[in-house]
Amino acid sequence: MAHLSTLDWTIVIGLMILFVFIGIRFRGKAEGGLAGFFLGGRKLPWYIAGVSMVATTFAADTPLWVTEKIAQHGISGNWLWWNMVIGGMLTTFFFARLWRRANIITELEFLEIRYSGPVASWLRGLKSVYLGLFMNVVIIGWVNAAMISILEVFFELSPDEAFWICMGGMLIVAFYSSIAGLLGIAITDFVQFIIAMSGSLILAVVVLDLPEVGGIAGLKAQLPAWRLDFFPKLSGVSDLASGTFSLSAGAFFSYVVLQWWASWYPGNEPGGGGYISQRMMSAKDEKHAVYSSLFFQIAHYCLRPWPWIIVGLAALILYPDLPLEESRKGFVFAMRDHLPSGLKGLLFVGFISAYMSTISTQLNWGSSYLTNDLYKRFIKAEASDRHYVLVGRIITLGIMAVAVFSTSQIKMIDQAAQFLIASGAGLGMVLILRWYWWRINAWTELSATIAPLLGLAISKYLLVDYVPKAFYQQNGDFIFTVLFTTVVWLLVTFLTKATDEATLKAFYERIQPGGFWAKYKNDAQTKVDFLPMFIAWFSGVALVYSSLFFLGKLIFAEYQLALLWLGIALVSFWLMRRSMQRSQLFSD
């Protein structure tokens, strides 16, 4: 491990001790029952909850993935995730306050306050295992695989050596996660995010200053113009290998019009869900829940990407012979080869911080499902708070043990995960409408969860011989699956009985979401004005994109365009803020 000096190792070990100390320091705060352990006692201010969301999505593999997209398609390749802003802002203005108002421990607890009958219970139990264990260890396996790759490259280790070092790191994370609960994890996330982003910024500045790169001017002079384009090229047929990220009309339609609301994918669930809803439910009040989500959208899409993009572009100059399939390693090579002693240790800790913040959240979030929605709901309904917290800690360590196996099988799991994400097409609208339309029932959500699997299979195996190849190049299988799933859940909804009246009435009185609930409203309840919420949503999306492009143009010294985007950002912010003040987003 000769790439780190004594100073580097001092920084690494010192900060690792700090993370464990924070976990121990907040041990007492995690003893207040399940709400204390899994929601931090519902006392998180917006900036802690928001930064914790951003830190969790900053996994060890994220900068490497962006570097790979830069090598494949230039800056415009980031639209593969930038398109998710639309759904993220929808969560901010339409769902954040509702998640906090629900006053529940987990997302899955929602199912039995919204639906009735045995199907609601089955759905809750099945999802607790599917999401809390199976999907969770898949995600942990991804993150571990990325960290193992970093260790292999950075320290020139064998795969087995890197694997066991990574598993040792996960054991440390499981230890402080099981002790600290969400509050300690969120505080640790805050520290880890500052370290990770500082390291990325420093690396971007260092590589730009290298003689081989020659600053922004040298970067622009040495790279073809298409690599610096911010927007994808629209063409009749998608051809990702031709340079600039090309989108067919069908693919553009699926990304911009369909994907943000139709697909279910961890961390970007339509209407919120997973650890995003967990953070919103842990906020002090509804106002803090909304602001935490708003901060997350801005930091996640506007502030965080640019250091990674700069390093990704510089890596193309520094390592021109790196094969495309290994292009993600350019970020690690730049860190290893060009940072001085001390800074190298800091950035390495940044990667460790990104890794630890993601793993700690996944362990705590998964444990919350298995403890609250499986063990407490179906196995032992009557026990002390201390008992449930102890069970939560044991389950946290159990998830870690299963994740060790999942990491060792990562190639197989990666294929399964791609299938699982693709097979969520069409579920998203149900996750949105269940808040705003009384007719959605448990059978609706169950059918919308299963139907994409059947729709995807029909598209890939039955239609493949009967439709042109261009159908698939235009994301036709995704569009077909969305349409198929939508038809299925609509039919199921109207062919099955609605949720019973008492449950619907209690849900509406508790949440008061507005929307299609006319028969359950009364004059004494606050009426929801959706117009300013829609305006806030649209202007929020415009704010994020214009701020993103403003920073990009400023970095690339294109000042006239930077001023134009800044102007749009300021107008969007004013309109969003005014709409938030006019709407009833916050309760007193």
Q: So what's the pLDDT on residue 526?
A: 65
Any idea which of 7-21, 434-448, 460-474 has the lowest mean pLDDT? 460-474
Q: Is the pLDDT of residue 586 over 60?
A: no
Whether the predicted pLDDT of 285 surpasses 90: yes
d(CA 486, CA 337): 51
Please tell me the predicted confidence (pLDDT) of residue 119. 94
Stronger pLDDT, 386 or 313, i.e. the higher one: 313
Q: Which residues neighbour 421 within 8 Å (Cβ) at sequence distance 6 or greater? A: 263, 265, 266
Please give the pLDDT value at position 358: 86
Is it the case that residue 566 has pLDDT exceeding 50? yes
Q: Rounded distance, CA 65 to CA 71, Å?
A: 10
Alpha-carbon gap, residue 588 to 417, rounded angstroms: 42
pLDDT for 565: 97
Per-residue model confidence as pLDDT tens digits over 47-104: 999 999 998 888 777 888 899 889 888 898 888 788 889 999 999 999 999 999 999 9
Residue 448: strand, helix, or coil: helix
Q: Is 445 exposed, middle or buried (0-12, 13-18, 19+ CB in 10 A)?
A: buried
- Beta bridge partner(s), residue 233: 246
Q: Which residue has the higher pLDDT, 8 or 421?
A: 8
Give the ranges where 409-514 is alpha helix by DSSP (H). Answer: 410-422, 428-436, 442-457, 469-473, 476-495, 501-511
Structure tokens given for 19: 């993370």
CATH number for region 6-422: 1.20.1730.10
Q: Is pLDDT at 575 greater than 90 in this prediction?
A: yes
Distance in angstroms (rounded) separating the CA atoms of residues 464 and 455: 13
Q: Is 575 exposed, middle or buried (0-12, 13-18, 19+ CB in 10 A)?
A: middle
CA distances from 156 to 59, 150, 159, 333, 432 (A): 21, 9, 9, 11, 47
387 Cβ contact list (under 8 Å, min separation 6): 380
* pLDDT tens digits for range 356-391: 888 888 898 899 999 999 999 999 988 888 899 899
Residue of higher predicted confidence among 121 and 272: 121
**Which pTM does this prediction carry?**
0.89
Mapping DSSP onto H, E and C, the string for 271-291 reads CCCHHHHHHHHCECCHHHHHH
What is the C-alpha to C-alpha distance for residues 222 and 314, in angstroms, rounded to an integer?
A: 10
Higher pLDDT, 568 or 77: 568
Residue 293 has pLDDT above 90, yes or no: yes
Query: Residue 525's pLDDT is what?
Result: 61
The per-residue pLDDT for range 208-266, each reduced to its tens digit, is 999 999 999 999 999 998 889 888 776 644 444 445 555 565 666 666 777 778 777 76
- Do residues 365 and 357 touch, judged by C-beta distance below 8 A? no
The domain limits of the chain are 6-422
